[in-house]
């Protein structure tokens, strides 16, 4: 099969399109024919050797994808050959075929195509779990989303709105802010040209926001933490800007602030009931039209390095997808 191969840790341009073979699926595993794969920031971290997991070379990156079940391993009873599925592969989705544990495969909701399905699990899964399970966001509360037009950011707006909260979206360009608005944001802030904290104070009548969703890190995090109301919660999602923020404990004490870490992958592997419940509500929200992936650009398999470069240069809006067969 054709596959993008990582033979050394490095930048996207070190990846090559090559040929690879997969074994039969083992106990509890399924082989899928990948039709589309989502591009995630974590793919960049993985190919640079900076991820928790460091696979042996050569391997194919690609955290999530969608396609049909090709073969079923021993012990798998809930899937059949030909089923249309989306999958969290961890690695291996940038290839024509992938082997995935059956507990990381989900049926594609009625009406969803392979492109939307390929970008559905990670971003929506993270935002739903972060806001509902970890943050306990309430309908009467206000949520501030940083990097709001990015992969996970846009899904946090939709999930926040689906919960009933008021959502303030912060991003770096007017084009990104327009996208955030079209996805339901009640207020938008350009955090490069406006003072985040003062605009938040103005919009919330001086109170501050109840929750911050932060996939960006870096300089914006401190200002966002200072924008929290009493008993605010700060959700740590990721560090796309590179720098890992730290918060002075005195600020947290005075305002009774909770800083909450979220690692969605841990829930997927260790809290399967919570994970499945979260995923099933997301699929219901999709069927009800409350969430709908924004795929802004499609790339062929040979263009995976280009897609990853678009992501790392902050040019992506919503999600980028790999059309494996194009
Ligand atoms: N905790 C979890 O379980 C979990 C799950 C999924 C993803 N994540 C993490 O969440 C983060 C975002 O992932 P994503 O896939 O949504 O990425 P993305 O689509 O690239 O979005 C990241 C956003 O960060 C902002 N940003 C600020 N400085 C940046 C820089 N120097 N380079 C790139 N982006 C920059 C950009 O928005 P502006 O231009 O508007 O500032 C961009 O839209 C990553 O760190 C990822 O690992 C964590």
CATH of the domain at 223: 3.40.50.720
- Give a yes or no: residue 278 inside a domain: no
Asked if 301 and 191 sit in the same domain, the reply is: no
Max intra-chain CA distance, the chain: 60
Measured in Å, residue 28 CA sits from the centre of ligand 1 at 32
Is this structure's pTM higher than 0.85? yes
Asked if 166 and 91 sit in the same domain, the reply is: no
Q: Which token pair is 104?
A: 């990381």
Asked if 134 and 147 sit in the same domain, the reply is: yes
Dump pLDDT digits (tens) for 129-145: 999 999 999 999 999 99
User: Would you state the pLDDT for residue 283?
Assistant: 96
Torsion sign over Cα 294, 192, 241, 227: negative
Asked if 148 and 244 sit in the same domain, the reply is: yes
Asked if 8 and 93 sit in the same domain, the reply is: yes
For 101, the enclosing helix (H) or strand (E) is strand 97-101
Q: Which of 192, 215, 217 to mutate to test the pocket of ligand 1 (most atoms within 8 A of CB)?
A: 215
User: Would you state the pLDDT for residue 53?
Assistant: 87
- Give a yes or no: residue 281 inside a domain: no
Whether the CB-CB separation of 228 and 204 falls below 8 Å is answered with no
Residue of minimum CA distance from atom 33 in ligand 1: 314
User: Would you state the pLDDT for residue 269?
Assistant: 87
How far is 40 from 264, CA to CA, in rounded Å? 14
Measured in Å, residue 197 CA sits from the centre of ligand 1 at 21
Dump pLDDT digits (tens) for 193-235: 999 999 999 999 999 999 999 999 998 999 999 999 999 999 9
Residue of minimum CA distance from atom 25 in ligand 1: 147
Asked if 190 and 222 sit in the same domain, the reply is: yes
- Give a yes or no: residue 270 inside a domain: no
Asked if 114 and 127 sit in the same domain, the reply is: no
Residues in the chain: 326
CA distances in angstroms from 298 to 85, 114, 167, 318, 323, listed in the order given: 19, 12, 28, 12, 6
User: Would you state the pLDDT for residue 321?
Assistant: 98
Asked if 178 and 258 sit in the same domain, the reply is: yes
Question: Binning pLDDT at 50, 70 and 90, where does residue 178 land?
Answer: very high
Exposed, middle or buried by CB within 10 Å (0-12, 13-18, 19+), for 263?
middle
User: Would you state the pLDDT for residue 189?
Assistant: 98
Confidence check: pLDDT of 52 > 90: no
Dump pLDDT digits (tens) for 64-101: 999 999 999 999 999 999 999 999 998 999 999 999 99
- Give a yes or no: residue 174 inside a domain: yes
- Give a yes or no: residue 7 inside a domain: yes
Asked if 159 and 86 sit in the same domain, the reply is: no
Measured in Å, residue 216 CA sits from the centre of ligand 1 at 5
Dump pLDDT digits (tens) for 114-170: 999 999 999 999 999 999 999 999 999 999 999 999 999 999 999 999 999 999 999
How far is 23 from 245, CA to CA, in rounded Å? 42
The number of folded domains in the chain is: 2
Asked if 133 and 106 sit in the same domain, the reply is: no
Tell me the Ramachandran region of residue 176: left when phi exceeds 0, alpha when psi lies from -120 to 50, beta otherwise.
Answer: alpha
Q: Which of 122, 238, 295 to mutate to test the pocket of ligand 1 (most atoms within 8 A of CB)?
A: 238
Whether the CB-CB separation of 215 and 237 falls below 8 Å is answered with yes
Mean pLDDT value across the chain: 97
How far is 193 from 215, CA to CA, in rounded Å? 19
What residue numbers bound the domain in which 113 lies?
Answer: 2-120+293-323
Measured in Å, residue 41 CA sits from the centre of ligand 1 at 6
How far is 1 from 17, CA to CA, in rounded Å? 11
Q: Tell me, rounded to whole angstroms, the distance of Cα 11 from its chain centroid.
A: 21
DSSP, collapsed to helix, strand or coil, labels residue 183 as coil
Torsion sign over Cα 109, 111, 114, 116: negative
Measured in Å, residue 311 CA sits from the centre of ligand 1 at 8
DSSP annotation of 59 reads: B
- Give a yes or no: residue 58 inside a domain: yes
Asked if 130 and 115 sit in the same domain, the reply is: no
- Enumerate residues lining ligand 1, CB below 6 A: 40-42, 122, 126, 147, 149-153, 171-172, 176, 215-216, 237-242, 262-265, 311, 314, 316
- Give a yes or no: residue 229 inside a domain: yes
Average pLDDT over residues 103-109: 93
Q: Which of 12, 41, 126 to mutate to test the pocket of ligand 1 (most atoms within 8 A of CB)?
A: 41
- Give a yes or no: residue 284 inside a domain: no
Asked if 192 and 231 sit in the same domain, the reply is: yes
Question: Binning pLDDT at 50, 70 and 90, where does residue 249 land?
Answer: very high
């Amino acid at each position: 099969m054709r596959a993008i191969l990582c033979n050394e840790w490095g930048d996207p341009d070190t990846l090559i399109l090559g040929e690879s073979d997969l074994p039969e699926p083992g106990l509890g595993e399924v082989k899928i024919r990948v039709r589309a794969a989502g591009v995630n920031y974590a793919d960049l971290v993985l190919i640079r050797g900076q991820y928790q997991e460091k696979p042996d070379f050569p391997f194919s990156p690609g955290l999530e994808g969608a396609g049909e079940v090709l073969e079923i391993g021993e012990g798998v009873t809930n899937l059949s050959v030909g089923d249309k599925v989306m999958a969290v592969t961890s690695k291996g989705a940038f290839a024509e075929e992938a082997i995935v544990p059956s507990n990381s495969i989900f049926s594609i909701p009625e009406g969803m195509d392979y492109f939307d399905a390929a970008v559905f699990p990670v971003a929506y899964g993270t935002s739903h779990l972060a806001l509902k399970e970890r943050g306990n966001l309430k309908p009467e509360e206000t949520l501030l989303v940083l990097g709001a037009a990015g992969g996970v950011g846009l899904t946090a707006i939709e999930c926040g709105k689906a919960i009933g909260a008021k959502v303030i979206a912060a991003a770096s360009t007017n084009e990104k802010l327009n996208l955030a608005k079209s996805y339901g944001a009640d207020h938008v802030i350009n955090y490069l040209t406006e003072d985040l904290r003062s605009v938040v104070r103005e919009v919330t009548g001086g109170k501050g926001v109840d929750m911050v969703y932060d996939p960006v890190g870096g300089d914006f995090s401190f200002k966002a933490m200072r924008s929290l109301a009493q008993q605010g919660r700060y959700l740590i999602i990721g560090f796309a800007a590179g720098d890992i923020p730290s918060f002075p404990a005195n600020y947290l004490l005075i305002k009774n602030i909770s800083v909450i870490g979220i690692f969605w992958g841990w829930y997927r592997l260790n809290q399967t009931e919570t994970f499945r419940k979260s995923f099933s509500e997301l699929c219901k929200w999709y069927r009800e039209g409350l969430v709908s992936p924004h795929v802004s650009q499609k790339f062929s398999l040979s263009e995976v390095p280009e897609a990853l470069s678009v992501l790392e240069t902050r040019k992506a809006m919503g999600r980028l997808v790999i059309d494996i067969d194009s």
